[in-house]
């Protein structure tokens, strides 16, 4: 019995495995402080749940159009116009089973064996695996702390080859928390347009920015940028809807059509009543989101000030998402060894940076209560002193 090569080249998600180790320790009664969370520690707002429940009660339990119900696609088009300054028609929007699913569909529709996809590192760990599943080759550009973990247009250009098909950008970024400025994005578009390279713009954290950092959608920059870009977004992070599995993308018409065909033959439509919840999320009251953002901001500031005060640890202050990436290379341990020892001896869970393509770092999530953050950082500080 032989598996397909595409199945054997994949590495299981390391973020999920750390999380399950921490959960197993908790189940044994150990008091674990986990900084592993990749999702908000908030419940989905009530009005969103109510809309989904009402649709279930009303019998909205059947297949929908594969790319989503018309009213949700329209609401997403309205959102793109209002929040991002992009004109997309509903026909250019494909609602999916999560932003991750949208990324995968977009890569499958555009990349094939022989193609290269440029990914700035540290990166969200699923991008390279999705590229490999499409038979294409990920090409990594190591970004620098001095540049706030952002890829410059020059670095992008020097990684380009005649085989480059796509570049993946994620701003605000996971795991770095970096937010690209308009000028930085414009410079990257200028390079991409010389060779008609697709830009996959994962904007799932757009609502979580701090210190006045502005989220800019690449597709809004110019007609050329619009034609090259596939914009990804979803409900998971802004509306604490990770379990609902609901996301979307928008793309130039022919690209959207191809993606719809892929989706219609693989997963069909996203969950019917989850779409009604998504509609309520976009159209309803946004105060829960702002409250969550404000709380994340407090935690972020606390974490950065604590981590900065620990000798041999360095951090770049994140301006978005809910992660802090700490450079722990001065301790002379691999990120996995460091994280394993921290969890085993001090019961603190962090994600080793190797998962994101950077073995000098570990990722802290602040999607957890301030009490746990304080206790966890006390333990972390003790651990660092002991090394
Ligand atoms: C969480 C996350 C996603 C996945 O979002 P879903 O809508 O839950 O699939 C996509 N991209 C990044 C960078 C993320 O961190």
- Provide the CATH number for the domain around residue 151: 3.40.640.10
Element (H, E) at 319: none
What's residue 7's pLDDT? 87
CA dihedral sign of residues 310, 311, 312, 314: positive
Q: Cα 31 to the chain's mean position, in Å?
A: 28
Please say which residue of 220, 249, 283 terminates a domain. Answer: 283
Distance 331 CA to ligand 1 centre (A): 31
| Domain assignment present for 263 | yes
CA distance 244 to 98: 8
Q: Does the beta carbon of 126 lie inside 6 Å of ligand 1?
A: no
Between 125 and 37, name the one with better pLDDT: 125
Same-domain check for residues 103 and 184: yes
- Residue 78 counted as domain residue: yes
Q: What is the DSSP string of 330-368?
A: GG---HHHHHHHHHHHH-EE-EEGGGGT-TTEEEEE--S
When the pLDDT of each residue in the chain is averaged and rounded to a whole number, the result is 96
Q: What is the mean pLDDT of residues 220-236?
A: 98
Q: What CATH code is carried by the domain that includes residue 378? A: 3.90.1150.10
Q: Is residue 142 part of a domain?
A: yes
Please give the pLDDT value at position 19: 76
Burial class of residue 332 (count of CB atoms within 10 Å of its CB; 0-12, 13-18, 19+): exposed
Of 283, 311, 326, the position where a domain reaches its end is 283
d(CA 387, CA 383): 7
Eight-state DSSP code of residue 203: -
Are residues 329 and 256 both part of a single domain?
no
Distance CA 224, CA 20 (A): 44
17: pLDDT strictly greater than 90: no
- Is the pLDDT assigned to residue 182 strictly greater than 80? yes
Mean pLDDT, residues 82-91: 98
Looking at the structure, do residues 162 and 297 belong to the same domain, yes or no?
no
> With 90 as the cut, is the pLDDT of residue 14 above it?
no
For ligand 1, the distance from its centroid to the CA atom of residue 242, given in whole angstroms, is 8
Q: What is the mean pLDDT of residues 142-164?
A: 98
On the question of pLDDT at 320 being above 80, the answer is yes
Mark whether 264 and 300 lie in a shared domain: no
Whether the CB-CB separation of 281 and 239 falls below 8 Å is answered with: yes
Confidence of residue 226 (pLDDT cuts 50, 70, 90): very high
In angstroms, the CA 106 to CA 108 distance is 6
Do 97 and 186 belong together in one domain?
A: yes
Whether residues 205 and 94 fall in one domain: yes
Q: Choose the final residue of a domain: 283, 304, 326.
A: 283
Give the model's pLDDT for residue 21. 86
CA distance 284 to 144: 40
Q: Do residues 25 and 149 share a domain? A: no
Residues 140 and 33 in one domain: no
- 98 CB less than 6 Å from ligand 1? yes
Among 106, 203, 234, 365, residue to substitute to test ligand 1 (most atoms within 8 Å of Cβ): 234
Total count of domains within the chain: 2
Is there a single domain that holds both residue 293 and residue 265? no
Atom number, ligand 1, closest to the C-alpha of residue 39 = 1
pLDDT at 95 exceeding the cut of 90: yes
- Kindly list the distances between the CA atom of residue 226 and the CA atoms of 92, 104, 250, 378, in Å, as whole numbers in the listed order: 12, 20, 10, 47
Domain co-membership, 113 together with 164: yes
Residue pLDDT, tens place only, 18-27: 778 888 999 9
Tell whether 308 is covered by a domain.
Answer: yes
Does pLDDT of 257 surpass 80? Answer: yes
pLDDT of residue 1: 87
DSSP letter for each residue of 255-273: HHHHHHHHHHHHT-S--HH
User: CB-side exposure of 199: number of CA atoms within 13 Å?
Assistant: 30
| Residue 301 tokens, joined | 């500031």
What pLDDT is recorded for position 8? 87
Q: Do residues 132 and 171 both lie within one domain?
A: yes
Instruction: Measure CA 109 to chain center.
Output: 20
302: domain range?
Answer: 5-44+287-386
Peptide bond into 244 cis (omega under 30): no
In the reported structure, the alpha carbon of residue 234 is separated from the centroid of ligand 1 by a whole-number distance in angstroms of 8
In the prediction, which pLDDT does 174 show?
98
The answer to whether position 53 is within a domain reads: no
What's the 99 CA to ligand 1 centre distance in angstroms?
5
* Closest C-alpha to 102, from 75, 121, 76: 76
Query: Would 262 be classed as within a structural domain?
Result: yes
> Are residue 299 and residue 219 in the same domain, yes or no?
no
Helix 253-266 to helix 99-110 angle, to the nearest 10 degrees?
110
- For residue 49, being part of any structural domain is answered with no
Place of tokens 């019961």: 347
Has residue 372 been placed in a domain? yes
């Amino acid at each position: 019995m032989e598996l397909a090569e595409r199945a054997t080249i994949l590495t299981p998600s390391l973020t999920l495995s750390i999380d399950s180790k921490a959960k197993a320790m908790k189940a044994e009664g150990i008091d674990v402080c986990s900084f592993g969370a990749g999702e908000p520690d908030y419940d989905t707002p009530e009005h969103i749940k109510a809309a989904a429940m009402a649709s279930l009660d009303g019998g909205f339990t059947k297949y929908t159009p594969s790319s989503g119900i018309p009213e949700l696609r329209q609401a997403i088009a309205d959102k793109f116009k209002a929040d991002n300054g992009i004109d997309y028609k509903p026909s250019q929007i494909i609602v999916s089973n999560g932003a991750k699913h949208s990324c995968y569909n977009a890569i499958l529709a555009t990349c094939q064996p022989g193609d290269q996809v440029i990914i700035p590192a540290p990166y969200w760990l699923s991008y390279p695996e999705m590229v490999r599943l499409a038979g294409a080759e990920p090409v990594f550009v190591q970004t620098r702390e001095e540049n706030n973990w952002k890829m410059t247009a020059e670095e992008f250009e020097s990684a380009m080859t005649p085989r480059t098909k796509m570049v993946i950008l994620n701003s605000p970024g996971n795991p770095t928390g970096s937010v690209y400025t308009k000028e930085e994005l414009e410079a990257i578009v200028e390079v991409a347009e010389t060779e008609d390279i697709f830009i996959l713009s994962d904007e799932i954290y757009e609502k979580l920015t701090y210190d006045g950092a502005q989220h800019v959608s690449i597709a809004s920059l110019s007609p050329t940028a619009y034609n090259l870009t596939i914009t990804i977004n979803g409900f998971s992070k802004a509306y604490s809807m990770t379990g609902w599995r609901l996301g979307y993308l928008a793309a130039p018409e022919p690209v959207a059509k191809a993606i719809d065909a892929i989706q219609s033959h693989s997963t069909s439509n996203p969950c019917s009543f989850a779409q009604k919840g998504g509609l309520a999320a976009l159209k309803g009251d946004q105060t829960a989101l702002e409250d969550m953002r404000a709380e994340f901001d407090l935690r972020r500031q606390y974490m950065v000030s604590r981590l900065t005060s620990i000798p041999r640890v360095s951090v770049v202050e994140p301006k978005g998402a809910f992660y802090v990436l700490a450079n722990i290379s001065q301790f002379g341990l691999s990120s996995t060894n460091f994280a394993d020892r921290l969890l085993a001896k001090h019961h603190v869970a962090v994600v080793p940076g190797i998962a994101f393509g950077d073995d000098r770092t570990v990722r802290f999530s602040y999607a957890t209560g301030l009490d746990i953050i304080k206790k966890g950082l006390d333990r972390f500080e003790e651990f660092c002193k002991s090394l």
